[in-house]
Amino acid sequence: MTVSVPPAEQRRGGIFKDTWVVARRGLKHMIRQPEALSDVTIQPIMFVLLFAYVFGGAIAVQGSNYREFLMGGIFAQTIVFGAFNVAIALAYDRANGAIDRFRSLPMARGSVLAGHALASLVRSVLPITLMSLCGLIVGWRIRDGVVDAVSAYALMFLFTFAIIWVGVLMGSLLPSPEAVQGFAFAIIFPITFVASTFVPLNTLPGPLQTVAAWNPVTSMSDALRELFGNRRGFVPEPNADWPVRHPVAYTFIWIVGIIVVCAPLAVRQYSRTIDD
């Protein structure tokens, strides 16, 4: 028996097909390595419980109870951490030869990165669902109607998609999975804390407050609180920084900015890095 394979001239591919093949592979990896999912499952749940029951009592929030306030922040932080896994997945691919295998194939340019990004986006459904359930259990509620709630979830996926491209860029720049991990802890971890993630902005000391006000993790957290109706009693001061008064719009600007800057940079950097 011989299977007849169409000759090279007659084969037609495309970026969408190739992207989907790579994404499917990425999803299989996730299912087959459940231990690697701990950072988007166990870790965020642990954060919810820790802050809801251990630290929460010590943090006062204007116009809301702390557990309501907390969820917006944890959603934002989990998205930032979770999306970074794409960087590690890419670094592993480079370390173990998968990238060279892909590059020796007639694939559409950019489809390896796009496939990783797509798999990461699909995967983010898991932590966002788990977080929501966990939040509901500790007393968080969606209070502002369906449209706002849908907008909140849509914003989360858009934010995830943007952060994934930061991850792809990191995965293309940094030489090894260990380096990615180091970078995540040294840079990303603090960024998610110098924000309104766990505490209201006005509890931070002066200069840090300004930094936090412009931090997209703050605006993402606040945007979710606003859309879910978790900060009804909160009234920003009239002279507060613009992002504090317009968290949804400011977050959206970041999302667009990140994608426009990082995606092309990542594709370029990626083909450069792996050339050697």
Partner 1 sequence: MASNAAIDASGLVKRYGETVALSGVSFDVPRGTVCSLLGPNGAGKSTAVRILTTLTEADEGTATVAGLDVATRAAEVRSRIGLASQDATVDGLLTGRENLIMIGELHHIGRRVATERAAELLEQFSLVDAGDRLIKTYSGGMRRRLDLAATLVAHPEVLFLDEPTTGLDPRARNELWDVLDILVDEGATILLTTQYLEEAERLADDIVVIDHGRVIARGDSRSLKRQVGGDQVFATVVDPATLGRVSELVGRTAGAEPEIDEGARQVRAATAVGPRAIAELATALAEAGIEVEDIGLRQPTLDDVFMTLTGHHAEEVEEGADE
The footprint of partner 1 (CB under 8 A) covers 1-6, 8, 11-13, 17-18, 21, 25, 28-29, 32-33, 96-98, 100-107, 275-276
Least CB distance from residue 78 to partner 1, whole Å?
A: 24
- For partner 1, the closer of residues 138 and 274 by Cβ is 274
In angstroms, rounded to a whole number, what is the distance separating the alpha carbons of residues 237 and 227?
Answer: 19
- 152, 247 contact by CB (below 8 A): no
- Can you give the C-alpha Rg of the chain in angstroms? 21
- For partner 1, the closer of residues 52 and 117 by Cβ is 117
CA neighbours within 13 Å on the CB side: how many for 218?
25
Least CB distance from residue 179 to partner 1, whole Å?
A: 18
In angstroms, rounded to a whole number, what is the distance separating the alpha carbons of residues 13 and 206?
Answer: 56
- For partner 1, the closer of residues 5 and 58 by Cβ is 5
- For partner 1, the closer of residues 4 and 239 by Cβ is 4
Task: Count Cβ atoms within 10 A of the Cβ of residue 150 and give its class: 0-12 exposed, 13-18 middle, 19 or more buried.
Answer: exposed
- 243, 213 contact by CB (below 8 A): yes
Q: Give, as one character, the DSSP assignment of residue 35.
A: G
CA neighbours within 13 Å on the CB side: how many for 133?
9
Least CB distance from residue 100 to partner 1, whole Å?
A: 4
Least CB distance from residue 5 to partner 1, whole Å?
A: 5
- For partner 1, the closer of residues 1 and 146 by Cβ is 1
Least CB distance from residue 3 to partner 1, whole Å?
A: 4
